[in-house]
Structure 1
Amino acid sequence: MTRDDIISVLGPVDEAVIADIVSTGATIEELREAFAWIGADEALVNEGRQLPSARVAALIELLETPDDEDLP
């Protein structure tokens, strides 16, 4: 997956995030799936979609913003 592929899915993102995503070895399809899960995880479960694969779950973890309760 290229930098341009990542930007086409996520929009402008930090270069460190791009490097982290590339290092996962994920495909653009897996990135799209991770992005969909972030935006509508409950809806996807309700549709009967399978839970994300390990690689998609790793992408979700990279892309999610920390909750306020995680902050000191």
Structure 2
Amino acid sequence: MTVTRQDVLSVLGRVDDVTIAEIIAFGASLDELREAWAWAFGDEALMSLGRPLPGTRAAALIDLIEPDDEGDLTDPIQEDRGDGH
């Protein structure tokens, strides 16, 4: 089952409408999106755990969700710090 707009927002946090549309059009599953997010924002930790590199579909999603430059996409964990940093 492909993801919905709400699914994308629940995984990625605040993200632009174009990115949401691209992810939905890609036909990603929720598990694929979660895997791509984990690799995009925690690849060193996953490599340290010995996880295999992401598959082709996850890699394509990573390309969609990784920021092109600072400020395109914020790590939702960092976004909700609430300490002014």
Give the TM interval when normalised to the shorter protein: 0.7 to 0.9
The structure 1 segments of at least 4 consecutive aligned residues displaced by more than 4 Å after TM superposition are none
Q: Which has the higher helix share?
A: 1
Aligned equivalents of 1:67, 1:2: Cα separation in 2: 26
The normalised TM-score by structure 1 is 0.85
In structure 2, what residue type is equivalent to 1:64?
E
Which residue pairs with 1:22 in the alignment? 24
Q: CA RMSD in A?
A: 1.4
The normalised TM-score by structure 2 is 0.73
Which residue pairs with 2:56 in the alignment? 54
Matches within 5 A, 1:28-67: 28-66=30-68
Aligned length: 68
Q: Aligned with 1:26: secondary structure?
A: coil
In structure 1, what residue type is equivalent to 2:64?
L
Q: Are the equivalent residues in 2 in contact too, given 1:31–1:59 (CA < 8 A)?
A: yes
Give structure 1 stretches of 5+ with no counterpart: none
